[in-house]
A and B are shown apart, each in its own frame.
Chain A
Amino acid sequence: MEHLQVTDLHVEFGGLRAVDGLSFDVKQGEILCLLGPNGAGKSTTLDLICGKTQPTGGSIRVNGVEVSRLLEFRRARLGIGRKFQVPSVYKELTVVENLSVARSRRPGIWHALTRLSLRPSKDVDNILELVGLTEKSQDLAGNLSHGETQWLEIAMLLAQDSRLILMDEPTAGMTIQETQRTAEIFRSLSGSHTLIVVEHDMSFVRNVADRIIVMNRGTKLAEGSIAEIETNEDVKTAYLGH
């Protein structure tokens, strides 16, 4: 079944067509990697899906529901989660508090008013264990290293438990071991979760991707498995600039 359907998506920033007639589908439980040179419109595409940017044309459907005119929080409630390129965690909150904010299955006021902020939770403990932040659970997020901050934001997305997760360069700044660990976590998520990942690290992409879309200048240049992409002439031209 199609989880996400993007049809003829357009957005312009002062004359620049950042995304120009992009169409693609993502199946339930699939990991789709978005590749492309800088400025190809990969991050913008994620912005359009999660609502950070409003499209100038086209349609975005999640489980058949048109979301392109909805506010961000409504899209999040429909199960769209986003990890940003620059890790955005709450630096003035502790690690567990960050996860508690991210656990937003019931985001209403009344639920929030009738709960204490930090009830012990098995789920949070498991997630902390998974990303190796158990020891630092009481530290302020602002005191974490760059790699740990990346892990924290991934942990927050796990806690949010969105069905459709948009990851913007999740392994930037990670060591090789950490990158492998991230790949393992992503593989374990696939099936139950649908992931769209923007990534430059090709070995990581080889590890996780079910399918790849290469973008260039706001349009889809190529689509297929890793082997198909690596032998595609258009892709070579776009990257090497011939």
Chain B
Amino acid sequence: MNSRFYYDLIALAVFCAVIFLGVPALMSYDGFELNTFARYLSLAIVSMALALSWGTAGLLNLGQAATFGMGAYAMAMHLKLKVSDGLPDFMGWNNVEKLPLVWVPFESLSFTLLAGLLVPAAVGGLIAIFMFRARIAGVFVAVITLAFLVAFQLLVIEQQGFTGGQNGLTGLAPLTLAGWTVDTYSVSFYYLVAGCLTVALALGVYISHSKFGLILRAIREDADRTRFFGYNVATYQTVIFCVSAALAGWAGMLYTLVLEFASPTYMGVSFSLAIVIWCAVGGRESVLAAAVGAIIVNLLEGRLSDVFVEGWHMLLGIVFVLVVMFMPRGIYGVIVDVVRRLNEARRGGRQDSAEDALLPATIQTNRER
């Protein structure tokens, strides 16, 4: 087996052990603390989703928060319908008298879960088809996705009667999943989120090590060259964009469950840029590193804002600047460099000893002659 794949599987196993066994024990199975950590884990999913499109394929999607928000709103619409009797309260305040058609199917949980994945994937795919057929690349991808994000957030805020506008969707019912009413301050809910993250990461690691992932890395480096090998570059880029958007939607659904409301700030520019920062700090080349980056930065943000109520934004900013300046490939880059150096040192040692071992044999053959 390929050694890098092997390392990634070990790292994934260690990571799972930490989030499934280590973290709950460390927080002495306290529901409130675990709820906070579940929030970090759901954000880790959107960060690893960005690593797939940005790190692997080189497509910097600054609109990741839009697809995240779509998932969040899908879940919130379902939970809002569960708590309201026919018509959600805010619709009445906005003179909407009949439940809008788009809301009707969200009564069904299975539809909601599917929509939370497929709507972001479809929207992402549509944008991707237009961009990548026209061979748009580099910074222009960032500009277009950012413009889409801003427009989409504006649309959600403007359509108050359908979306709750600036207030978002609040006062939600708890989710009932196959007869189990999810208590978001319970250990089992934490395990649900951790399980989702594990599945997403396993998918991400597989994609990175599949031939598909390899072709994406080739496209990132030289899209034209890859075309001359017969690969339809636009299709590859569109597919990874869809997968990334679907994962972001999944993270959004979990995020709504954790916070028990959906707000248009989930689709804000600052949130979208924050995702990029998590991804960059962890290391965009590895989905696992991007997930760890999201957890570390959010953990840091939580702790810093407790201690330095005023100045924590400044401290966080300094940390980011330092990361970008001194470890441009993130924490992952540092680890890879260290491992490579250790390997080189070890290989150097082994070559010496191999030459030593060869020496007597050569002398022997010479004697026989």
A interface, CB within 8 angstroms of B: 50-52, 71-73, 76-77, 81-82, 84, 88, 90-93, 97, 100-102, 104, 107, 109, 111-118, 160
Q: What sequence of 0s and 1s flags, for each residue 244-261 of chain B, a beta carbon within 8 Å of any chain A beta carbon?
A: 000000000000000000
Contact partner, A82, options B222, B228, B233, Cβ 8 Å: B228
| Residue picked from B207, B211, B228, B232, most chain A C-beta under 10 Å | B228
Q: Which of B220-273 contact A (CB under 8 A)?
A: 221-222, 224-233, 235-236, 239
Range for the number of chain B residues in contact with chain A = 20 to 34
Q: How far is the CA of A101 from the CA of B236 in the complex (A)?
A: 13
Contact surface of B with A, Cβ cutoff 8 Å: 2, 5, 207, 209-215, 217-218, 221-222, 224-233, 235-236, 239
> In the complex where A88-B222, A93-B221, A116-B5 touch, is A73 in contact with B213 (Cβ < 8 A)?
no
User: In the complex, are the beta carbons of B218 and A90 less than 8 A apart?
Assistant: yes
Q: Give the chain B neighbours of A160 by CB distance below 8 A.
A: 229-230
Q: Residue on B with the closest CB to A110?
A: B212
Chain A residues with CB under 8 Å of B209's CB are: 116-117
Residues of B within 8 A of A92 (CB): 217, 221
**18 pairs across A/B with beta carbons < 8 Å?**
A50-B228, A72-B227, A73-B227, A73-B230, A84-B225, A90-B218, A90-B222, A100-B211, A107-B230, A109-B212, A109-B236, A112-B210, A112-B211, A112-B212, A116-B211, A118-B5, A118-B214, A160-B229
Tell me the smallest distance from the CB of B124 to a CB of chain A, in Å.
16
B210 and A113: CB pair below 8 A?
Answer: yes
- A117 near B214 with CB under 8 A, answer yes
Chain B interface helix/strand/loop/mixed: helix
Considering the complex, give the chain B residue whose CB is closest to the CB of A141: B221
Q: Which residues of B contact A118 (CB under 8 A)?
A: 2, 5, 214
Are A77 and B230 in contact, with the CB atoms below 8 A?
Answer: yes
Residues A109 and B2 in contact, CB atoms below 8 Å apart? no
- Contact (Cβ within 8 A) B210 A76: no
Q: How far in angstroms is the closest Cβ of chain B from A91?
A: 7
A73 touches B215 (CB 8 A): no
Q: Which residues of B contact A116 (CB under 8 A)?
A: 2, 5, 209-211
In the assembled complex, which residues on chain A have CB atoms less than 8 Å from the CB atom of B5? Answer: 116, 118
**How many angstroms between the C-alpha atoms of A107 and B219 in the bound complex?**
13
Nearest A residue (CB) for B285: A92
- In the complex, residue of chain B having the shortest beta-carbon distance to the beta carbon of A79: B230
Q: Could you tell me the distance between the alpha carbons of A160 and B212 in the complex, rounded to whole angstroms?
A: 17
A-B contact sample (18 more), CB < 8 A, given A109-B235, A109-B236, A112-B236: A51-B228, A73-B230, A73-B233, A76-B227, A76-B230, A91-B221, A93-B214, A93-B218, A97-B217, A102-B229, A104-B230, A107-B229, A107-B231, A107-B232, A109-B232, A112-B214, A113-B212, A118-B5
Complex Cα–Cα for A137 and B207 (A): 23
Q: Which 5 A-B pairs have the closest CB atoms?
A: A76-B230, A117-B214, A112-B212, A72-B227, A107-B230
Contact assessment for B229 and A104 in the assembled complex, using a CB-CB cutoff below 8 Å: yes
A18 to chain B, nearest CB (A): 19
Query: Could you tell me if A90 and B229 are in contact, using CB atoms closer than 8 angstroms?
Result: no
Given the complex, which residues of A lie within 8 Å of B207, measured CB to CB?
113
Evaluate contact between A112 and B228: CB separation under 8 angstroms.
Answer: no
